[in-house]
Amino acid sequence: MNIFSQELKMSAASMIYWTASIVLFVLLFMFMYPPISKDVQVIESILSNFPPELRRALGMTTLDLSQVLGFYGFLFIYILLIGSVYAMKSGISVLSEEIRSKTADFLLVKPVPRTRIVSAKILSILSNLIVQNLLFMFISYIIISSYVNGSLDTRTFILINLSLFQVQLFFAAVGLFLSVLIKKIKTVLPVSLGVVFAFFVIQMINQSLNDPKLAYITPFAYFDVSKIIQNVGYDTSFLIINIIIIFILTALTYIIYQKKDIPSL
């Protein structure tokens, strides 16, 4: 029984649907770029009436909406949100699906170590995320390029898009950890939405209050799109923190799943 190939077959449709949703989101909102870029001063005058804290929370103070990458950066905040929910959902469901569908006995009686089961399932998530990000980056590059008069800053564009993959790895690791920590998860999507939105709200509060301490709590702050555009690079300390958290949560997933009492039928 090839667990990895079976997981890929089972998750392929979901990956395609979520990828199509993100691409459609970009396509629809980029239609708004030409009129907004022309009347950006009017929009800024309207936004100036809003409280500074609200404008900072929405990322409207550091991004130049008249520039295509600035506008894309504003959209990308919400792309991160959608992609994170998918990654979180994948992480939770991949190890808890047998318990929910009551097929855990069938899997665990096979002569396959639990570590190999976890590895195969994690590899399936990683494969889906890689394919999703490559597809999205390719299609979004075509979409964004059509709105650029000159040449697109490819380096900055790639850095922005790679941040999606890194944030997704964080939430996939959180999802894996919760799937083995919580005894039984009845529904995956509500848990995924709750966790991701909690981190997103923390990021909005962080931007509103401009509190450096809050930035360490949420991965959305690790890869701040406005800072990526300004610095054409990542914050090394946040990059390392993200890698460490992913490693720790993945290691704990292996340890807990190895000792976890899986309920039988």
Q: Distance (Å, rounded) from C-alpha 18 to C-alpha 41?
A: 35
pLDDT digits (tens, 9 = 90+) for 29-68: 888 888 877 776 666 666 666 666 666 666 665 677 778 8
The SS3 assignment for 112 reads coil
The pLDDT score that the predictor gives to residue 265 is 46
pLDDT digits (tens, 9 = 90+) for 71-108: 898 889 899 999 999 999 999 988 877 666 555 555 55
pLDDT in tens, the chain (265 residues): 587 888 888 888 999 999 999 999 999 988 888 887 777 666 666 666 666 666 666 666 567 777 888 889 888 989 999 999 999 999 998 887 766 655 555 555 566 777 888 888 999 999 999 999 999 999 999 999 988 877 788 999 999 999 999 999 999 999 999 988 887 777 888 899 999 999 998 888 887 777 778 889 999 989 988 889 888 899 999 999 999 999 999 999 999 888 776 655 4
Chain centre distance of CA 252:
21
Q: Residue 138, Cβ neighbours under 10 Å: how many?
A: 11
**Domain spans of the chain?**
3-259
Chain centre distance of CA 264:
33
Chain centre distance of CA 165:
6
The pLDDT score that the predictor gives to residue 186 is 78
On the 0-12 / 13-18 / 19+ scale of CB atoms within 10 A, 152 is middle
The pLDDT score that the predictor gives to residue 49 is 65
What letter would DSSP give residue 152?
-
Best CA proximity match to 171, nearest among 142, 117, 228, 129: 129
